[in-house]
Amino acid sequence: MSNKPKPSKGGDLFLFLFFLCIATVFWLISSLNNEFNEQHIDVPIEIVEIPDSITILENVPSNINVTIAGKGFSIISYLLGHIPHLKIKFSDFIHKNTPYESFLLHKNDIEKLLYNYFGGGIKILSINPDTVKFNFASTPGEKCILKINTDIKPHFQYTISGDIISDIDSVSIYKINSGDTVISTINTELIKLSELKDTTIITAQIKPIPGFKIIPNKVKLLIPVEPLISKKQVISIIPINVPHNLDLILFPSSVEISYLLPMSKYNTTNNILITADYEYTKTNCSNKIPLNISNIPYNFKNIELISDSVEYIIEQK
């Protein structure tokens, strides 16, 4: 009687699946090698070796859509994983016999570069775009002052506590056509904000001008915002327009004023003026003279006098 172990059913199944996988791989290899496949591929492009003195004046496409046909193995590597950049040397395609210096890559040039890129065994069926062209400048642009165009409103208990700070104060402009337009100012697009309660940093677009390239095309702005707090202050009243032979004597000679101001300004001095104008007494018989406020800092709010007039007498010197 034989004691040889019988093969397990599980082992037979594993062996069957192993040979099935091998057969599938060989079939796939054979199919890929015999069938002619058509694929659409976005090829990223990169213009290289651009001198630092060159400024590109127009948008450059980031990729070229290519329809190719070839046997499976000749294109499968481009369908799996990372597609490398097609690098194009800047100096090889410069054209200076036009009104503007330009980079021009014709369809035939693109096809040659793509055949080198893909290698043998493929056919290029279509290219989009089939031309790559852009103008450039080799000289510095004209400097223009940048104006910030804003409509900013803080919350009613807050204030814009200082100048809006820009990370640039001017831009460079380049003419990209033959027009006679003269540029005097460069503005940002209108920046509209409301109900601000804190210092805010935003990026604003610079308003484009047809026929010109503006560099940079955006600006970073810091808008200082802080809360308003209440303060009271006693200020001496200053008589004005008094003839040199007279004295305008006021009762009282000072007055209390209240206002809201930015928190950071609370302990700083200010030059608020409260005046009483002698000219008022020439045409009015009242025994009181009105008070006027001037030199109010732009970010002080809700200015109020405890009394808007005081008594007075006029004396000869």
Just give the CATH number of 229-316: 2.170.120.30
- Give the residue from 14, 13, 78 showing the smallest Cα distance to 40: 78
pLDDT in tens, the chain (317 residues): 445 555 555 556 666 666 566 655 555 555 545 545 677 888 999 999 999 888 888 889 999 999 988 765 555 556 565 688 999 999 999 877 555 688 999 999 999 999 898 877 778 899 999 999 988 888 888 899 999 999 999 999 999 988 999 999 999 998 877 666 678 789 999 999 999 999 999 999 999 988 889 999 999 999 999 999 999 999 999 999 999 999 999 999 999 999 999 999 999 888 999 999 999 999 888 899 999 999 998 888 999 999 999 999 999 98
Q: Is the distance from CB of 205 to CB of 276 less than 8 angstroms?
A: no
What per-residue confidence (pLDDT) applies to 263? 92
Query: Dihedrals φ, ψ of 143, to 5°?
Result: -80, 135
- Please name every residue paired with 105 in a beta bridge, in sequence order, or none if there are none: 132
How many angstroms separate the CA atoms of 243 and 259, rounded? 33
What per-residue confidence (pLDDT) applies to 135? 87
Q: Is 207 exposed, middle or buried (0-12, 13-18, 19+ CB in 10 A)?
A: middle
Q: Which amino acid is at 276?
A: A
14: left (phi over 0), alpha (psi -120 to 50) or beta: alpha
- Please name every residue paired with 202 in a beta bridge, in sequence order, or none if there are none: 221
CA 122 distance to own-chain centroid: 43
R_g of the chain computed on alpha carbons: 39
- Give the residue from 294, 302, 311 showing the smallest Cα distance to 250: 311
What per-residue confidence (pLDDT) applies to 8? 53
What per-residue confidence (pLDDT) applies to 1? 47
**In which residue ranges of the chain is CATH 2.170.120.30 found?**
229-316
Just give the CATH number of 142-223: 2.170.120
What per-residue confidence (pLDDT) applies to 6? 52
What per-residue confidence (pLDDT) applies to 59? 87
What per-residue confidence (pLDDT) applies to 93? 92
Q: Is the distance from CB of 222 to CB of 198 less than 8 angstroms?
A: no
Q: Is the distance from CB of 104 to CB of 64 less than 8 angstroms?
A: no
Between the alpha carbon of residue 234 and those of residues 178, 255, 258, the distances in Å are 65, 5, 9
How many angstroms separate the CA atoms of 53 and 15, rounded? 67
Name the residue with tokens 């800047």: 90
CA 52 distance to own-chain centroid: 23
